[in-house]
Amino acid sequence: MSVYRYFAVGEETTFGTPVPAVEYMDPESAEMDPSGDQAIIYEGISGLDRIAKPGAYFSEGSVTAPVDLDVFPWFFKWALGGVNTTGEGPYTHTFFPQQSPLMPSFTARVGKDIFEHIFSGVVVGSLELSLEDQLLLGTVEMLGGKDEKGTLADPVEFTQGPVYAFHEVNATIDGMDESAILETFTLTIETGADNEAGRTVGSRFPRRAYRGALVVEMEMNLAFDSTRHLEKFWGTPTGPTTGDLQEFPLTINVGPDIDIVIPRGIYTAMEQPVGGRERIEQTGTLRGLVTSDGTGPIQISVTNNKTAY
């Protein structure tokens, strides 16, 4: 049986030079297309549009899929940049922010029923992990350059590893197991990637993508059974501090093999709106910070049978 819709990736060794796919995914959605105004229109004093030339060319889109043990760690690497692998099988891959000026790139391929749409020079603009009462989902916002038409892959062998339901995820906040308090969350890693700055003379397409400011935030719905999280937000037991904000670590364990650690976090917002007769729902926003030894604002460890990423 042929598969006509898929999302596939392969890591590039040279930015913008397409490479074969090494992983195939069956995502919930894969939206990737050319973006923006791709033409240069000369506007003369006649008031009429007469002259047009090809302009700077970019693409963008997103893919949403269950977070799995084998394929999704590629996006951790492409978002954060750094990876350290230890072990002799199984292997533990630790992904961390790399202070390099340029983003790593990959080639994305989207099966679109009648052709394979190929995008090169793709980088991660943001990565979002969200959990409600179903599977842990990941959404990757992507920035790319050139696109071209290819032939649909046949056969397609999906390489997805184990995925995780909500009951397989646990959370520790400030050294306390808060799994019974954390109802839902959305963790967002913004890379600040900029490929428009990678335009140079002699090419319509970006030649590189620069790394920007890394921002890590986590939006949480927390059961409202005490004021302890409000007190962490305030910094004191009774009201807002005029001194230092309270800092604490947070760890999300996804199954037995994925650990997401924010070693130093602060609450930047906390709300408990009262609406009618419904239960009070507490929401909090946590921001990840770098520790004094340079760790953070986030670190992700994955243990599987892949030798390297």
* Residues 86-100, mean pLDDT to the nearest whole number: 95
Model confidence at 114: pLDDT above 70 = yes
Q: What is the pLDDT of residues 181-229, one digit of tens each?
A: 999 999 999 999 999 999 999 999 999 999 999 999 999 999 999 999 9
Q: What is the pLDDT of residues 152-173, one digit of tens each?
A: 999 999 987 999 999 999 999 9
Which residue type, as a one-letter code, is found at position 138?
G
- Three-state DSSP at 80 gives helix
Residue 109 is predicted with a pLDDT of 98
- Cα(178)–Cα(240) distance, integer angstroms: 23
Residue 1 is predicted with a pLDDT of 62
User: Half-sphere exposure of 245 toward its Cβ, with a 13 Å CA cutoff?
Assistant: 15
- Cα(75)–Cα(123) distance, integer angstroms: 9
* Residues 17-43, mean pLDDT to the nearest whole number: 94
pTM of the model: 0.95
Calculate the average pLDDT of the chain. Answer: 96
- Cα(22)–Cα(19) distance, integer angstroms: 9
